[in-house]
Amino acid sequence: MNNLKKFLSIEELRKQAQSSVPKMFFDYCESGSWDEQTVLSNISDLKNIQFQPRVVRNIANRKTRISLLGEEYSMPIGLSPCGLTGMQYADGEIHAAKAAEKFQIPFTLSTMSIVSIEELANNVSKDFWFQLYVMKDRELTNNLMTRAKDVGCKTLVLTVDLQVLGTRYKDVQNGLSTPPKLTVRNILDIALKPRWAYKIAKTKNKSFGNLKPYITNVSNLNSLSSWINEQFDESLSWDDIKKFRDLWPGKLIIKGIMSTEDAEQAVILGADAIVVSNHGGRQLDSCASSVSALIEIKKNLEKKGVDLIIDGGIRNGKDVLKIKALGASMGMIGRPYLYGLGAGGEEGVLRVLEILHEQLDLTMALCGHRDINTVDLSILKKSTV
């Protein structure tokens, strides 16, 4: 960890990841759909909210611990599901999950992970959350759910905003594939990232770990996106979601909600929590930022007690305090931990979490608060929310 101490912000780790990870995979992490307007507004809308500090208050013995869905966490931050995490760094899912475990925060394994559900479970000691995409082939979908249950996952994150895949120009231009195709451009790029290449060469995990048993004839993004377009269910309905609720015995989190109406529906069907999310701006471009959707949903949702989680655009501890003040139970991060992974594997993710925790704690103190669980709208400047 010591040599990573020199990185003081997520932005610095982002730059390090850019120089350590082959362009094809760094671009996959960075990109949003089409003009990337939603990627930008996720970040800028959070940035534009200002604090209303109070002074001369007792801020000793500060507390960032929270409880969510019956579990205790060291801070209100979780790791969002990200496909191909094991291409940012060899066995990336294991490294990120171990860092999350050390920090006592939740890690979510994507359906589209490189390391499989079973292999991750063999390498960590705490249970993790599993993210599920609903495929047309319900036997396949149910099978993934059973595999997660069998290894001890207690929380299922059902993603509902990817019935079709958004277009990310960079992935198409780069001919994204896993493992990468050995074109002259890729060979040159990988040759410039020898540490990445050495570690990837050593691991057996180079393709979609969870899907391998079911995928046939997929070698590059074009065929993968056609496989996805073939598999993902365009006709998904709330009745289907209800069936998953009935089948899954543990906690159910529905991810990808951006409107009060859909949030109401998810709650009626028995979701234990909702992730207000636009998939990090990777699906519908020009939709509202996730923080603006959070504000609207928090205000209008009839059932007030349900846990609202948010992801999209969180880049520092200030953002985490802002979403807590707006009433979210937890903020999840996608790209920031991928930057940490790219920069330094598990140590890099730990550094990301350490930075976020320090920033959250210091911001809370400077706002005049000592318990994350009691912050509310009063710490935000009204005219900026």
Ligand X SMILES: Cc1cc2nc3c(=O)[nH]c(=O)nc-3n(C[C@H](O)[C@H](O)[C@H](O)COP(=O)(O)O)c2cc1C
Report the catalytic residues: 279
Compare residues 82 and 301 and give the one whose CB is closer to ligand X.
82
Beta carbon of residue 237, minimum distance to ligand X (angstroms, whole number): 19
Query: According to the binding rule CB under 6 A, does residue 96 interact with ligand X?
Result: no
Compare residues 258 and 380 and give the one whose CB is closer to ligand X.
258
Query: According to the binding rule CB under 6 A, does residue 141 interact with ligand X?
Result: no
Using CA of residue 265, residue 267, residue 268, residue 270, what is the dihedral sign? positive
Compare residues 121 and 258 and give the one whose CB is closer to ligand X.
258
Query: According to the binding rule CB under 6 A, does residue 135 interact with ligand X?
Result: no
Among 20, 155, 159, 289, contact with ligand X (rule: CB under 6 A): 159
Beta carbon of residue 30, minimum distance to ligand X (angstroms, whole number): 8
Beta carbon of residue 275, minimum distance to ligand X (angstroms, whole number): 7
The residue among 331, 300, 327 whose CA lies nearest residue 315 is 331
Q: What is the DSSP letter of 15?
A: H
Q: What residue ranges in the chain does DSSP mark as E strands?
A: 66-68, 71-73, 77-79, 108-109, 129-133, 155-159, 251-257, 273-276, 307-311, 330-333
Q: Which of helix, strand or coil describes residue 173?
A: helix
Using CB under 6 A as the binding rule, the residues of this chain from 196 to 235 that contact ligand X are: none
How far, in Å, CA of 371 to CA of 192, rounded?
46
Q: Which of helix, strand or coil describes residue 269?
A: coil
Beta carbon of residue 154, minimum distance to ligand X (angstroms, whole number): 18
Among 76, 78, 81, 92, contact with ligand X (rule: CB under 6 A): 81
Beta carbon of residue 60, minimum distance to ligand X (angstroms, whole number): 32
Strands 129-133, 155-159: pairing kind: parallel
The packing angle between helices 37-47 and 290-300, to 10°, is 60
Among 98, 251, 279, 322, contact with ligand X (rule: CB under 6 A): 279
Using CB under 6 A as the binding rule, the residues of this chain from 286 to 345 that contact ligand X are: 311-314, 333-335
End-to-end CA distance of the chain: 37
Beta carbon of residue 14, minimum distance to ligand X (angstroms, whole number): 11
Query: According to the binding rule CB under 6 A, does residue 82 interact with ligand X?
Result: yes
Please say whether the beta carbons of 215 and 178 come within 8 A.
no
Query: According to the binding rule CB under 6 A, does residue 38 interact with ligand X?
Result: no
Secondary structure tally for the chain: helices H, strands E: 15, 10
Residue position matching structure tokens 């001369």: 56
Query: According to the binding rule CB under 6 A, does residue 255 interact with ligand X?
Result: yes
Q: Please count the residues of this chain forming the interface with ligand X, following the rule CB under 6 A.
A: 23
How far, in Å, CA of 41 to CA of 31, rounded?
14
Compare residues 315 and 370 and give the one whose CB is closer to ligand X.
315
Query: According to the binding rule CB under 6 A, does residue 115 interact with ligand X?
Result: no
Segment interacting with ligand X, rule: CB under 6 A, options 15-23, 79-87, 118-126, 297-305? 79-87
Compare residues 75 and 112 and give the one whose CB is closer to ligand X.
112
Please say whether the beta carbons of 381 and 51 come within 8 A.
yes
Q: Give the contacts of 218 (CB within 8 A, at least 6 positions apart).
A: 224, 227
Segment interacting with ligand X, rule: CB under 6 A, options 165-173, 230-238, 279-287, 343-351? 279-287
Compare residues 80 and 186 and give the one whose CB is closer to ligand X.
80
Compare residues 124 and 162 and give the one whose CB is closer to ligand X.
162
Residue nearest to ligand X (CB): 334
Segment interacting with ligand X, rule: CB under 6 A, options 168-176, 209-217, 274-282, 318-326? 274-282
How far, in Å, CA of 174 to CA of 243, rounded?
38
Beta bridge partners, 274, equal 254, 308
Please say whether the beta carbons of 190 and 22 come within 8 A.
yes
Query: According to the binding rule CB under 6 A, does residue 177 interact with ligand X?
Result: no
Contact positions vs ligand X (CB under 6 A): 28-29, 42, 80-83, 110, 112, 131, 159, 255, 277, 279-280, 282, 311-314, 333-335
